Amino acid sequence: MEGSSQHKPDLIQSFLQRRCFKLAIGAGIVTFSVAFLGYFLYKNWGTITAYHWRVDYAALGLTALLHLCAFATGIYGWHAIISRLVGVDDLALNARIYSFSVVARRIPGMAWEIATRVVMYGELGVSKAIVGLGSLLEILVTTLAGSVMYIALTPFTASYASRLGSWPLLAALGLGIILTHPRLVTYVMRKVRRNALPVPLRYADTLRWFWIYVVDWIIGGLVLFATVRTIYPLPYSNLLQVIADWTLTGVLTSFITFVPSSLGLREVTFTLLLSRYMPEHVAIVAAILVRLLMTAYSLLWLLVATRLGKAREKSPHA
């Protein structure tokens, strides 16, 4: 009895790690997302087709500029992490690999973003295990920053927290300081992966990464707000709410990074959250539009990064 009970956790763990189980979870998420979005589209189709859509081209142009800022912030964050872990401090190289990985993130499947980095850095002789650890560290810090960011925004976005004054802000600040402690981050990384980090982390490292990704969350929320404003005159009083919803959606979907496909789940979450303060038909169109724009912009920045990289290689001063 005792021996069989000891083997149960191993059996459960091996089952959860089976590819068929992960594929089933991914298929379930895609099926649910497609069904949900299909239902919302069917339910609101008459309104969508009858609605007099007007495109705000200034807001549309702003989405491109803001996405470029968010993209640059993401590059800087990844550069800070990978240069600290393995000493790859070539910003142009890290930017190019980051650009490829972001585009790979849009492909349905199992963690293509991390796989792209592992392959591209591996060709340069960088340890694949360390690149994988760096990507996991990026996900961890991003999720921590997003969680703290969402708590900080609750006094301005949640009616139940409006009477709490500045306490959520102070709590979020304290939580951020605690959660980014190098020992805690290292402990979590060791629990996720048995591989040890190649260098000891410092508070200067983790706090720097934390604030980089806080900024990244804010800019991402601004992208979503500008996207909505492209098709609907959403009042600026909803700006913090949109940033909070962007952050909450990102944090929730970050937990399924290693599921074979989470296609559509982000759009479902956006639709549910945005429809609280705008018409349903606008919410679902905005959710789909932000996916299309971010994919297009990511491809555009990849093209720019690739061209700049080739120009740099041809330069006699390179």
Predicted local distance difference test score (pLDDT) of residue 181 = 74
Residue 23 lies in a domain: no
Predicted local distance difference test score (pLDDT) of residue 16 = 44
* Phi and psi at residue 261, to the nearest 5°: -160, 130
Residue 102 lies in a domain: yes
Alpha helices, H only, 51-166: 57-86, 91-105, 112-122, 128-157
Asked if 308 contacts 92 with a C-beta cutoff of 8 angstroms, the reply is yes
Residue 30 lies in a domain: no
Residue 234 lies in a domain: yes
Predicted local distance difference test score (pLDDT) of residue 9 = 43
Predicted local distance difference test score (pLDDT) of residue 265 = 75
Predicted local distance difference test score (pLDDT) of residue 77 = 96
Which residue in 203, 193, 204, 207 sits closest to 144, CA to CA? 207
Residue-by-residue pLDDT tens, the chain, 318 positions: 444 444 444 444 454 455 554 555 555 655 655 676 676 666 667 767 767 788 999 999 999 999 999 999 999 999 999 999 988 888 989 999 999 998 888 776 567 788 889 999 998 899 888 898 899 899 889 999 999 998 888 877 765 445 555 566 667 777 777 777 777 777 777 776 666 778 888 889 999 999 999 999 999 999 999 999 999 999 999 999 999 999 999 988 876 655 544 556 788 888 889 999 999 889 988 998 998 899 899 989 988 888 876 666 666 555
Residue 77 lies in a domain: yes
Asked if 248 contacts 306 with a C-beta cutoff of 8 angstroms, the reply is no
- Cβ neighbours of residue 92 under 8 Å, at least 6 residues apart? 308, 309, 312
Residue 49 lies in a domain: no
* Residue 231 lies in domain: 54-314
Predicted local distance difference test score (pLDDT) of residue 113 = 84
Residue 80 lies in a domain: yes
Residue 28 lies in a domain: no
Which residue in 286, 292, 294, 298 sits closest to 245, CA to CA? 286
- For the chain, what is the domain count? 1
